[in-house]
Amino acid sequence: MSTADKVDKVDKGANRRRRPDGVEGLIKAPSSDGAEPAKAGLFADVRLITAYARLNLQAAMEYRASFISQIFGMFLNDGIWLAFWWLYFTEFPVLGSWQREDVVVLWAVLATSFGVATGLFGNALGLSGIILRGDLDYYLVLPRDVLLHALVSRMSTSAWGDIAFGTLVFIAFGGATPGRLALYMLSVLIVAVFFVSFFVIVNSLAFFIGSSQGISEQLQMTLVHFASYPTTIFQGAARVVLFTLIPAGFISSVPVHVLRRFHPGFFAALVVATLVLAVAARAVFNWGLRRYESGNLVTGRI
Amino acid sequence: MTVRLSGGAEAQGLRCTPGDCAEHGRGQGRERRCQRKAGHGHCPGNRSGGRGGDKGGGERGREGGSGSGSGIGSGGNGVSESQTGAVVVAVVPRSFRSVSKYVAVLALSVENAAAYFADTLVRTIFMAVVIFVFVLLWRTTYSVTGHPTIAGFSVAQMIWYLVITESIINGRVRYWRKMDEEVRSGQIAYSLNKPVNYLVFHYATFLGESVVKVGANLLIGSAVALLMVGSISVPLEAAPFVIASMLLGLTVDYMTEAAIGLLAFWVEDTAPFGLIYNCLALILGGTLLPLDLFPAALRSVAAALPMNQVVYAPARMFASFSSSQPFAILMGQVAWVVVMGCALSCVFRLGRRRLDVNGG
Amino acid sequence: MEPAITVKDLTKTFAVRQREAGLQASIRSVFRPQVSRVHAVRGISFTVDQGETVAFIGPNGAGKSTTIKMLTGILFPTSGEADVLGFTPWRERERLAFYIGSVFGQKSQLWYHLPPLDTFDLLARIYELDRKEYLARRDYLIGMFEIEEFQRTPVRKLSLGQRMRCEIAASLLHRPRLVFLDEPTIGLDVVARQSIRTLIRQVNEEDGTTVFLTSHDVGDIEGLCRRVIVINHGELVLDESTSTLKRSYLKSKVVDLKLASPVGDVDLPLPGVRVLKAKGYGLKLQVDTREQRIEGVVSSILQRFNVVDMNISDPPLEDIIAAIYREAAPGPGVAPASAVAEGASIAVAARAGSDSRDEGGGGSQVGGSTGDKAAPRAPATKRSASDGVHPSVHPSSDGGGTS
């Protein structure tokens, strides 16, 4: 009796149907309760991410010169802003409660977490394009979670420039003690998830509004831009927006309220905000995906 | 992070302009055919995924198989048909044709960019964000220092300064990439056979599109500035100076970027140069901070470079017309136009020779 | 064995928002959106057994890709049922995905800048394949598809034929029970096409993989598929075995002649004979074999002309299928006059299994399903027995036969 037959005997339940045979041994043998071949768990997802990361890096390295110049370019880009702030603080030593060091740390956190976000989940920024072109079909035919798969299948090469820059800056100017470094890395991971979640939500507009790429892009850029300024300059209504619609405030408060002086309250708020955003991202995407699968996208992708 | 380098349009790759049609070529009369048929299909600039720069090689492959290799094209399809260029070409007598040719190209480029105006406006929302944040920043700064002016600028003047610089820096077309592609794709070889001055032709294309984009940015930026800090007193006679200054500045920018792009004849990747130029324009050009606020040493470095002619010059003139020296500024710009113009044609001639020697 | 695919009354209707040009119309459409319904698939039914090789063809816009999307779970149907390998595709998509493979000729799943091996490894990870088994399977496929020599060459350097071999091999790594092939030979030269067909056939025979092919290439259909399902305007027009299809509609032969002297005005007063081409030294005739025996025509020709070379062949399957496409009514209940003029009442022939069309031993292979459809359709297309398939207006292929 083949494995499949044996498993069939164990199968119970209304939805269990006779699975086609022939896959035994090739796909990892089903677990004893007759579940589907390796219903991808967390480890499987991590393996998927690493597989794609490796492959993406390989592909990027094929064009050595371009790879390097992209990283270099991003370095420069980030450097410019640092130069700006350097000049600014030369003229104006204090901005509210912020000092030069705080802005430097802000940029380090921002750059590194953005780099991690677009490095590992490179399609986050361009998700709306994928949706509108109907390219989600490719992922739908494969046995993995569509959102995760779509996100990780691309890596932004310049992301490495961001990561390198951010880390270097932090080590050089951020007063990197082991404790701070650990906190820094933790913050970076949290903010990276924050970024990805926001990008997913904003790009999922494509499910509901046709040709929303422009809007998605603007919203993405706005988040990053808002997050790159000290929170002190935002007052009143602007401040409210900074913590709701464009929640950049959570990000830009990290240097002062986590790294300079650890405020557990704020840190908790950051974590909660990230979780909320992540859950919302998943929900909005799934909602949109159902719409996509009903084929009634505004663009009429038949 | 892509806050600066790949704003909207750049990230989407360059849009094609009708004159680029490999099939229809350029030159009088043929531009007409281009107008009707121009679209992304013909234009080599869009088909290739682009090498170097923000998009980088490997774009197709990296989309994990989902990509069909078509790359990311910019939004909008097709070009509104227009007979403007055709009319100009047809009506003007033969003796003037040589100039009207380029005017036609310019008009076409404007038309092309205007056709995407809605799309452009959406992308200019970012301008509003930028100016908005600047207002917040500088309001705070001024209140911290406690002085009504900084280096002779009031808050309002500072903001309007930034409106001009940001409009220019974000609105101009990044031509080095375009030139780079022209050389790499071999397109330049085709174009050199046509009865048009290559550089002037591209200048017209550049100018047309840039003017529209800068205009859109100015529109949005001014709106925000007006709302938040009000207007500044700018004398009426300033208008021609400012406009001239902006045009001259754009010209310097085109020449520098085109020269950088043409380095593709000799260099495998011009991206580093293009990126450096852009970054320098942001800082030493005075985009983010008026040069007046720079420490003296840095200021003299900035003065020696062409970038500030592109951004600082017109913005300074506008923000504080009376205290600036308009004629001096304009002269300076003209001087740089001459210098960069020579540099550009040098590079071009050398490159052309290399082309003749090595083939396409 | 249970069938691989069972489709029952599958229907898909799209609601498409009408968008007119102009600002006014755009504003109007926000408040009062005009929605038109596109009936992409109208209640189709068919069954595919495991191990079958089916060609699922139809003109562009016929509903092919919509159907395939529903079968792979990418699209929800408006109504109807489908069972693919024991799963309802749109409800159990992720589970089904482990058992199906797909190749889209237009889109590639190979990473462009890397060698195919890397994509294979990635797929092994995606499908969570057991490492040892995967390697064995991979090497087996590499050998079978003759990929060894370029397995480490970046895909961008491969020829299209090599690339397609890699694509198909990639889709088979996880030993799917069913593969959907969408235009696998598009853009390939004749030799490459042949080899791909052979390989797919081999896979079908050795592994028992069910093949569901979409192709505009008739050679693929003839060379690979034992069954043809034709869809047009969202409905199934035909469901036959390939051999039946050919036999049923071979009412004519094409006689291709090379003459010793230039052919002038050809006057062949033979009934059932039509001149397809008379130019220079070449003369091509179509002979309706029901009206005229081929020997008679040949002897007649040999008497009248000085023949240097002669070739007698079947009309190309292309023409048959083109006629099928043309023939199918634009909507239920409407018989286009032109189709009547064209002649072939293929729809009737296909459905009326017990009808006069006996050649194929009973047209429709699939018992009930298409038969059910016969009733409403038959009246619309009822005609006298077919006049044979008229070749397309511009017979491009000389000599017919497989391309």
Residue A257 — pLDDT band, cuts 50, 70, 90? confident
The CATH number assigned to the domain holding C264 equals 3.30.70
Q: Is A211 exposed, middle or buried (0-12, 13-18, 19+ CB in 10 A)?
A: middle
Whether B61 sits inside 8 A of C156 (CB atoms) is: yes
Q: pLDDT value at position C58?
A: 85
Task: Domain ranges for chain B, please list them.
Answer: 18-48+78-98
Higher pLDDT, C307 or C346: C307
| Whether residue B149 has pLDDT greater than 90 | no
Contact indicator for C324, C237 with CB cutoff of 8 Å: yes
Contact indicator for A205, A150 with CB cutoff of 8 Å: no
**A257 assigned to some structural domain:** yes
Whether C108 sits inside 8 A of B68 (CB atoms) is: yes
Of C107, C119, C156, the CB nearest to B68: C107
Residue B52 — pLDDT band, cuts 50, 70, 90? very low
Domain range for A90 is 41-293
B60 and C CB contact within 8 Å? yes
Whether C98 sits inside 8 A of A137 (CB atoms) is: no
Helix (H) or strand (E) holding C19: none
Whether A36 sits inside 8 A of C98 (CB atoms) is: yes
Please state which of the ranges A55-64, A245-254, C393-402 shows the lowest mean pLDDT.
Answer: C393-402
Residue to test with chain C: of B48, B55, B68, B81, most C Cβ within 10 A: B68
Higher pLDDT, B340 or C381: B340
Q: Which of B137, B128, B139, B138 is nearest to B163 (CA)?
A: B128
| Whether residue A270 has pLDDT greater than 70 | yes
Contact indicator for A255, A109 with CB cutoff of 8 Å: yes
| Whether residue A32 has pLDDT greater than 90 | no
Residue B182 — pLDDT band, cuts 50, 70, 90? confident
Q: Are C258 and C180 members of one domain?
A: no
Cα B289 from Cα B284, distance rounded (Å): 9
**A27 assigned to some structural domain:** no
Cα C120 from Cα C118, distance rounded (Å): 5
Of A62, A81, A225, the CB nearest to B58: A62
Q: pLDDT value at position B135?
A: 94
Q: What is the mean pLDDT of residues B323-339?
A: 89
Cα C33 from Cα C19, distance rounded (Å): 8
Higher pLDDT, C135 or B61: C135
Q: Are C239 and C260 members of one domain?
A: no
Please report residues of A whose CB lies closer than 8 A to that of C122: 51-52, 55
Higher pLDDT, A264 or C367: A264
Cα C375 from Cα A133, distance rounded (Å): 40
Q: Reduce the DSSP state of residue C278 to 3 states and report it.
A: strand
Write phi, then psi, for B295 (nearest 5 degrees). -65, 150
Residue of B nearest to C112 (CA): B61
Distance from CA of B119 to the nearest CA of C (A): 14
Q: Are C111 and C233 members of one domain?
A: yes
Return mean pLDDT, chain C: 76
Higher pLDDT, C99 or B232: C99
| Whether residue B77 has pLDDT greater than 50 | no
pLDDT digits (tens, 9 = 90+) for C167-195: 999 999 999 999 999 888 888 888 888 99
Distance from CA of C75 to the nearest CA of B (A): 17
Residue A222 — pLDDT band, cuts 50, 70, 90? very high
Of B4, B7, B272, the CB nearest to A80: B4
The CATH number assigned to the domain holding C134 equals 3.40.50.300
**Alpha carbon separation from B83 to A176, B33, B87, B290 (Å, rounded):** 64, 10, 6, 43
Q: pLDDT value at position C18?
A: 67
Domain termination residue (choose one: C244, C262, C295): C244
**A216 assigned to some structural domain:** yes
The three-state (H, E, C) secondary structure of C293-319, written as one string: CHHHHHHHHHHHCCEEEEEEECCCHHH
Total domains in the fold of chain C? 2
Q: pLDDT value at position C84?
A: 94
Q: pLDDT value at position C355?
A: 32
Total domains in the fold of chain A? 1
**C391 assigned to some structural domain:** no
Q: pLDDT value at position C267?
A: 72
| Whether residue B321 has pLDDT greater than 90 | no
Of C15, C85, C97, the CB nearest to A143: C97
Please state which of the ranges A33-42, A72-81, A93-102 shows the lowest mean pLDDT.
Answer: A33-42
Residue to test with chain B: of A70, A85, A138, A146, most B Cβ within 10 A: A70
How many CB pairs below 8 Å do chains A and C form together? 120
- Longest CA–CA span in chain B (Å) reads 65
pLDDT digits (tens, 9 = 90+) for A154-165: 998 889 889 999
The tokens describing C94, both together, are 């992720």
pLDDT digits (tens, 9 = 90+) for B273-289: 888 899 899 999 989 99
B78 and C CB contact within 8 Å? no
Cα B299 from Cα B316, distance rounded (Å): 14
Whether B122 sits inside 8 A of A218 (CB atoms) is: yes
Return mean pLDDT, chain B: 74
Residue of B nearest to C110 (CA): B65
Cα C118 from Cα C115, distance rounded (Å): 6
**C190 assigned to some structural domain:** yes
Looking from the CA of B235 toward its CB, the CA atoms found within 13 Å total 10
Residue B192 — pLDDT band, cuts 50, 70, 90? confident
Q: What is the mean pLDDT of residues C4-29?
A: 77
Q: What is the mean pLDDT of residues B64-81?
A: 31
Please report residues of C whose CB lies closer than 8 A to that of A44: 128
C155 and B CB contact within 8 Å? yes
Q: pLDDT value at position A284?
A: 97
Whether B51 sits inside 8 A of A63 (CB atoms) is: yes
Residue B359 — pLDDT band, cuts 50, 70, 90? low
**A302 assigned to some structural domain:** no
Whether B65 sits inside 8 A of C156 (CB atoms) is: no
Write phi, then psi, for A242 (nearest 5 degrees). -60, -20
Q: What is the mean pLDDT of residues C341-369?
A: 33
Q: pLDDT value at position B248?
A: 94
Cα C46 from Cα C59, distance rounded (Å): 19
Of A67, A224, A238, the CB nearest to B1: A224
Residue of A nearest to C4 (CA): A20
Distance from CA of A13 to the nearest CA of B (A): 36
**C284 assigned to some structural domain:** yes
| Whether residue B113 has pLDDT greater than 50 | yes
Whether B65 sits inside 8 A of C113 (CB atoms) is: no
| Whether residue C319 has pLDDT greater than 60 | yes
Rg (CA), chain C: 24
pLDDT digits (tens, 9 = 90+) for C258-305: 988 887 777 777 788 888 888 888 888 888 877 777 788 888 888 888
Whether B129 sits inside 8 A of A222 (CB atoms) is: yes
**A101 assigned to some structural domain:** yes
Q: Are C272 and C223 members of one domain?
A: no
pLDDT digits (tens, 9 = 90+) for C38-96: 889 999 999 999 999 999 988 888 888 889 999 999 999 999 999 999 999 999 998 99
What is the 8-class DSSP label of residue B77?
-
Of B64, B66, B68, the CB nearest to C106: B68
Distance from CA of A210 to the nearest CA of C (A): 11
**C27 assigned to some structural domain:** no
| Whether residue A6 has pLDDT greater than 50 | no
Q: Which of B136, B132, B79, B71 is nearest to B108 (CA)?
A: B79
Distance from CA of B63 to the nearest CA of C (A): 8
How many CB pairs below 8 Å do chains A and B form together? 175
Domain range for C102 is 53-74+85-244
**A22 assigned to some structural domain:** no
Of C93, C137, C208, the CB nearest to A140: C93
Tell me how far the alpha carbon of residue C69 is from its chain's centroid.
16
**C385 assigned to some structural domain:** no
Q: What is the mean pLDDT of residues B198-208?
A: 90
Distance from CA of B123 to the nearest CA of C (A): 20
Whether B64 sits inside 8 A of A154 (CB atoms) is: yes
Q: Are C151 and C265 members of one domain?
A: no
Q: Are C69 and C213 members of one domain?
A: yes
Q: Is A290 exposed, middle or buried (0-12, 13-18, 19+ CB in 10 A)?
A: exposed
